[in-house]
Amino acid sequence: MRPGPMTTSPSTEAVPAHEDLTTAPALEVAGLTVTFTGEGRRATADVVALRDVDLRVAAGEFVAVVGPSGCGKSTLLRILAGLTPAGAVVAARTLTTPVDANGTRTTAWMPQRDGLLPWRRAWSNALVGARIAGVGRAVADERARTLFDAFGLAGFERAWPHELSGGMRQRLALLRTCLPGRPVLLLDEPFGALDAITRRRMNAWLAGLDLAGHGRAAGAGRAVVLVTHDVDEALLLADRVVVLSDRPGRVVLDLRVPRGDPTSARQALLEALDPQGGTGASGGGEVRARRGPRRRGRGAAARAARRTARG
Ligand X SMILES: Nc1ncnc2c1ncn2[C@@H]1O[C@H](COP(=O)(O)OP(=O)(O)OP(=O)(O)O)[C@@H](O)[C@H]1O
Residues engaged in binding Mg ion (CB under 5 A): 73-74, 112
Considering the rule CB under 6 A, would residue 213 count as an interface residue with ligand X?
A: no
35 binds, among Mg ion, ligand X, none (CB under 5 to 8 A by kind): none
Contact mark string toward ligand X, 74..93, x via CB under 6 A = xx---------xxx------
> How far apart are CB 145 and ligand X at their closest, in Å?
32
Nearest to 243 by CA among 261, 257, 223: 257
172 sits near ligand X (criterion: CB under 6 A)? no
Asked whether the bond before 258 is cis by omega within 30 degrees of 0, the reply is no
Indicate the pairing of strand 223-227 with strand 184-188. Answer: parallel
CB 221 → ligand X: shortest distance, Å?
26
> For residue 15, what are the CA distances in angstroms to 57, 181, 225, 266?
15, 21, 21, 35
Judged on CB neighbours under 10 Å (0-12, 13-18, 19+), 85 is: middle
In angstroms, give the least distance from the CB of 86 to Mg ion: 15
Tell me which of ligand X, Mg ion, none is bound by residue 8, counting a contact when its beta carbon lies within the kind-specific cut-off of 5 to 8 angstroms: none
Residues 125-144 that bind ligand X (CB under 6 A): none
- Does residue 50 contact residue 88 with C-beta atoms inside 8 Å? no
CA separation for the pair 122, 158 (Å, rounded): 6
Rounded CA-CA distance 67/244 in Å is 5
- By C-beta, is 82 or 192 nearer to Mg ion? 192
Minimum CB distance to ligand X, residue 49 (Å): 4
Segment near ligand X (CB under 6 A); pick from 5-13, 73-81, 141-149, 196-204? 73-81
Asked if 70 interacts with ligand X (CB under 6 A), we say yes
Helix/strand/coil percent split, the chain, to 5? 35, 20, 45
Per CB under 6 A, 72 contacts ligand X: yes
Cβ distance to ligand X smaller for residue 75 or 96: 75
User: Which sign does the torsion angle of CA 54, 59, 184, 219 carry?
Assistant: negative
Query: Is position 69 an interface residue for ligand X (rule: CB under 6 A)?
Result: yes
Interactions with ligand X, residue window 232-261 (CB under 6 A): 247
Compute the distance between CA of residue 290 and CA of residue 3 in angstroms, rounded to an integer: 41
Contact 198, 167 (CB under 8 A): yes
Instruction: Name the minimum Å distance from CB 214 to Mg ion.
Output: 26
Tell me if 32 contacts ligand X by CB under 6 A.
no
Taking the complex as a whole, the smallest distance from the CB of residue 75 to Mg ion amounts, in Å, to: 8
CB distance 66 to 243 below 8 Å? yes
Counting contacts by CB under 6 A, is residue 73 touching ligand X?
yes
* Binding footprint of ligand X on the chain (CB under 6 A): 36, 47, 49, 67, 69-75, 85-87, 112, 247
